[in-house]
Amino acid sequence: MSTSAFSASRHQASTLYLPPGRWQTVLECLCAHFPAISREQWLDRVARGRVLDSNGKPIDSQLPYREGLCIHYFREVPNEKVIPVQETILYADEHLVVADKPHFLPVTPAGEYVEQTLLRRLIHRLDNPSLVPLHRIDRHTAGLVLFSANPQSRSVYQQLFPTRRIDKFYEAIAPALPDLVFPLVHKSRLVEGEPFFRMQEGLGVSNTETAVEVREKNAGLWRYGLYPVTGKKHQLRVHMTALGASICNDPFYPDVIKDAEDDYAHPLKLLAQGVRFTDPVTGDLRSFRSAITLDW
């Protein structure tokens, strides 16, 4: 396996440094460390080359255990549920891929989703295992996601986000806020909330900032333009809730809807609508806009 191919392959895999123990083989350690995965399943993965050593080579089922040994393994979900939505590739060149992600499709493998993710779908469609997302949007959010397609230029694109050299704008539909004056800027400190997958506003110096404008009014619902200066998890969803207008069909805010199933007819009304930036490789001004629209 070439260095570049291994680097791409390793990025798609999960990594485990073997913990202390008295196991004889790596296989025994994996079985003990992941009790939900049977020995037969691990043997099958090993046989198919889905468990690698630190050099990217498939391991043998008899590989001796050693504390701290680096192992890469590929997550698999048996009978993974198909997500009946279709992504769109808006732009692709040797360095950059821009995709329109529909609601409910995760960007990267997590939990019960591996193959049914935007990343894995694009890897298959473009036959490019080197694809890496440059940022994330929530599974419930639709819209633009940018991917690096080339490891050689990846770092300069990744720096666009922490250095805030990329402008992002979103759109949301939420209840009317007639008592507030728009446009406005909302700042707050976001911290981890309860349950673990939620965020909440806490005390202290603000670490998030969102500019909000009203684009259209439709009785009790308004269409908002959202311009995040920062990019914290669930930032827009929490900020709109704090203003008194939780985004329509949000299963997490203001309260968690217990056992909520994906309702494809009523998605979260939040869209990553557009981005603008100067391409760090070509120097060209780039502007992309989602083809997805939010209806009332």
Instruction: Indicate whether 11 and 120 sit together in one domain.
Output: no
Residue 80 lies in a domain: no
Q: Looking at 33, 48, 73, which one is the last position of a domain?
A: 73
d(CA 6, CA 17) in angstroms, rounded, equals 18
C-beta separation of 38 from 182 below 8 A: no
**Residue-level pLDDT at 219:** 92
Residues 6+ apart with CB under 8 A from 256: 195, 198
Lowest mean pLDDT among 74-88, 179-193, 248-262: 74-88
Instruction: Indicate whether 58 and 127 sit together in one domain.
Output: no
Exposure b/e, 36-47, CB count within 10 A at least 16 = b: ebeeeebeebbe
Q: Mean of the pLDDT values across residues 113-128?
A: 90
d(CA 15, CA 18) in angstroms, rounded, equals 10
Number of domains in the chain: 2
Q: Mean of the pLDDT values across residues 262-275?
A: 96
Residue 272 lies in a domain: yes
**Residue-level pLDDT at 12:** 67
For the record, the structure tokens of 20 come out as: 């202390």
Residue 65 is classified by DSSP as P
Beta pairing, strands 270-278 & 142-148: parallel
Is the torsion defined by CA of 73, 142, 233, 254 positive or negative? negative
Instruction: Indicate whether 49 and 155 sit together in one domain.
Output: no
Q: What is the pLDDT of residues 170-211, one digit of tens each?
A: 999 999 999 999 999 999 999 999 998 999 999 999 999 999
Residue 185 lies in a domain: yes
Residue 75 is classified by DSSP as -
Instruction: Indicate whether 66 and 92 sit together in one domain.
Output: no
Whether pLDDT at 144 is above 90: yes
Q: What are phi and psi of 141, to 5 degrees?
A: -90, 140
Residue 78 lies in a domain: no
Whether pLDDT at 213 is above 60: yes
What is the pTM (predicted TM-score) of this model?
0.79
Backbone conformation region of residue 127, classed left if phi is above 0, alpha if psi is from -120 to 50, else beta: left
Whether pLDDT at 60 is above 60: yes
* CATH number of the domain encompassing residue 59: 3.10.290.10
Instruction: Indicate whether 8 and 106 sit together in one domain.
Output: no
C-beta separation of 147 from 161 below 8 A: no
Residue 79 lies in a domain: no
**Residue-level pLDDT at 248:** 98
Residue 83 lies in a domain: no
Q: Looking at 73, 108, 129, which one is the last position of a domain?
A: 73
- Tokens 């894995």 belong to 120
Q: Mean of the pLDDT values across residues 52-73?
A: 93
**Residue-level pLDDT at 3:** 44
Instruction: Indicate whether 52 and 103 sit together in one domain.
Output: no
Whether pLDDT at 85 is above 60: yes
Name the nearest CA neighbour of 212 among 143, 139, 270, 164.
270
d(CA 221, CA 63) in angstroms, rounded, equals 61
Residue 120 is classified by DSSP as H
pLDDT band at 104 (very low <50, low <70, confident <90, very high): very high
Domain span including residue 25: 3-73
Whether pLDDT at 4 is above 50: no
Residue 295 lies in a domain: no
Backbone conformation region of residue 234, classed left if phi is above 0, alpha if psi is from -120 to 50, else beta: left
Instruction: Indicate whether 21 and 93 sit together in one domain.
Output: no
Residue 294 lies in a domain: no
**Residue-level pLDDT at 191:** 96
**Residue-level pLDDT at 133:** 95
* CATH number of the domain encompassing residue 98: 3.30.2350.10
C-beta separation of 134 from 151 below 8 A: no
Q: Looking at 73, 104, 133, which one is the last position of a domain?
A: 73
Instruction: Indicate whether 101 and 215 sit together in one domain.
Output: yes
**Residue-level pLDDT at 90:** 98
Q: How far apart are the first and last CA of the chain?
A: 51
pLDDT band at 45 (very low <50, low <70, confident <90, very high): confident
Instruction: Indicate whether 22 and 157 sit together in one domain.
Output: no
Instruction: Indicate whether 41 and 101 sit together in one domain.
Output: no
d(CA 266, CA 140) in angstroms, rounded, equals 11
Name the nearest CA neighbour of 125 among 83, 89, 84.
89
Instruction: Indicate whether 40 and 102 sit together in one domain.
Output: no
**Residue-level pLDDT at 192:** 94
Instruction: Indicate whether 68 and 41 sit together in one domain.
Output: yes
**Residue-level pLDDT at 65:** 96
pLDDT band at 71 (very low <50, low <70, confident <90, very high): very high
